[in-house]
A and B are shown apart, each in its own frame.
Chain A
Amino acid sequence: MKRKHINIILVILALAIVFIIGKDFIGNKAGKNMDNPYKLDVDQFKKIDSTTVLYNEIKTFQVNDSSPKGIAVAGKQILVLTEKQLIRYDYSGKELSRFELPDTANCIAPVTKDQIWIGMLHSVASFDANGKLLTRWKNFDENSVITSLAVSGKTVYVADAGNRIVYQCNTNGEILSKIGEKNEQKGVPGYIIPSPCFDLALDDNGFLWVANTGRHSLENYNHDGSLRTAWGESSVKIDGFIGCCNPAQFAILPDNSFVTAEKGIPRIKLYDQHGVLQGIVAAPQLFDNGWYAPDLAIDVNQRILALDFDRKQVRIFEKNVNGNK
């Protein structure tokens, strides 16, 4: 009789526990699916018209490193810069070689004449095709964050996001001039760089373009540092730039049209040489999140190579039927 009572009590307790756990489980599940009365609908800004997509992704491969930093093209090879190494791939994604870097790297210039220029944290270095160090200058201060480089003949342009300035240097590292300091007489508004997104590139005529990301504009400079022209608009609309620091990355095609990559709402777009939107290269839906805008490079066939920092992939885009119209 006594044992029977114990059994009944145990069974009742077990049922009570099952009931409480079940109720808790169902309650939590329902709670986790509630609507958000304070939702900020960011997805509405990610919608695009599919007829405006001008490129298709034709090839993707994984980078064999956990900290990719930049991408460049050297003939038939793709160079991927990582924090500590430079890796060469062929277009199938096969790794061909890699070499160690002397310091933490941050950016790579488009490759000219087999000389590879790399921006480190506070220094700039150049290497030959085999990874032999040719030059290294350490003349930047501790506030410097070198985010982009471009080379034209004996001139090296260095974007320093930390000091919000572009240095025009010779190949020995002497600073010849500073470009972009606020100067009303030269029509220079000054850079607003809220985060280490500060890209630059040279157009076909050798003129410098700089992304003034806090102003959402691309600015074009004469060789004396005066402002030639600028374009770009702050807007959530597809032809504008939104967020604190966009376009975070850009590259210039041989016909002087622009490819821009944005963070926040991640997307890659194509603009003509006057800054008029031509269409979409890669829609926001192709990216996981908008923490980092992909670094960009253009190859000889005018394909667009994007280094996706989230997926750690090289993604290659080629013009589609819409793009070839």
Chain B
Amino acid sequence: MQDNSEPKNIERRRFIRNGMQLALAGTLVGVAALSVKKTRASGMVWQIDPFKCVQCGRCATECVRMPSAVKCVHAYNLCGYCDLCGGYLKPDPNARSTAAENQLCPTAAIQRRFIEDPFYEYVIDENLCIGCAKCVAGCTSFGNGSLHLQIRHNLCKNCNECAIARVCPAEAISRIPADKPYQIKGGFRKTPAKDKG
């Protein structure tokens, strides 16, 4: 009588090898599926959470669009309409005037308009804005935080992977539903809400 059974150690080796192959193939399929999921999110667009943004400047330098698809937006209902605007003026201005040397914005993209004593309105010229967040830093540090950045969807190419999101140190950029494509301060709130004046 002939014994056809393989020695036990060969059987074990084959079992381990098959297991490893299955695990490796499974991992590859998993990674591929994850990548597809990450890059193809239909009905979603990239947007900045203004409460997470730390004004690092990457939005101006990293966007594949030049100038950046990120622009400063103004939540007028939060603005103090101050004469001494921390978003418009350098922290130690020579005068509260529209003179270029007193302006914080490197591209003079903010217009200051007199409304009535003592109030001024600040309007962003999106054609000039490069999304550098310098004014956002000024308004956040010294004002009410009404100036903030948003990705403008008329300019954004909705890349599979947002070049700014990759390097944003605050992880402030994520995909949100395309039917609510903006996170404007004032309506959109940080959670939990903080209301102390």
Interface residues of A (CB under 8 A from B): 6-7, 10-11, 13-14, 17, 27-28, 31-34, 36-40, 42, 45, 66-69, 106, 145, 147, 161, 192, 194-197, 214, 216, 234-236, 242-245, 264-265, 290-292, 309
Contacts and interface: CB of A to CB of B under 8 A. Distances in A.
Task: Tell me which of B133, B144, B169 has the highest count of chain A C-beta atoms within 10 A of its own C-beta.
Answer: B144
A244 B197 contact: no
11 contacts: A14-B27, A32-B168, A33-B169, A36-B58, A37-B57, A38-B134, A40-B104, A40-B141, A196-B197, A244-B142, A292-B194
A265 B143 CA distance: 10
A311 to B, nearest CB: 13
A232 B80 CA distance: 20
Given A195-B80, A195-B144, A309-B196, A7 B28 contact: no
A36 B104 CA distance: 15
A236 B24 contact: no
Contact of B142 (A14, A39, A264): A264
Nearest to A17: B31
Interface of chain B, main secondary structure: loop
Interface of B: 21, 24-25, 27-28, 31, 55-58, 60-62, 79-86, 91-92, 104, 106, 118, 132-134, 137-138, 141-145, 166-169, 192, 194-197
Nearest to B170: A32
Nearest to A66: B192
B144 A244 contact: yes
B162 to A, nearest CB: 12
Given A69-B196, A161-B197, A7 B21 contact: yes
Contacts of A11: 24
A119 B62 CA distance: 49
A265 B141 contact: yes
Given A14-B27, A244-B86, A291-B194, 14 more contacts: A10-B28, A14-B24, A32-B167, A32-B168, A36-B57, A40-B138, A40-B141, A42-B91, A66-B192, A216-B84, A242-B91, A244-B80, A244-B82, A245-B144
A288 to B, nearest CB: 12
B91 A38 contact: no
Contacts of B192: 66
Contacts of A7: 21
A40 B134 contact: yes
Contacts of A45: 91
A69 B104 CA distance: 34
B57 A42 contact: no
Given A40-B134, A236-B91, A309-B196, A14 B28 contact: yes
Contacts of A28: 166-167
Contacts of A38: 57, 60, 106, 132-134
B164 to A, nearest CB: 9
Contacts of A309: 194, 196
A42 B86 CA distance: 11
A188 B196 CA distance: 28
B60 A192 contact: no
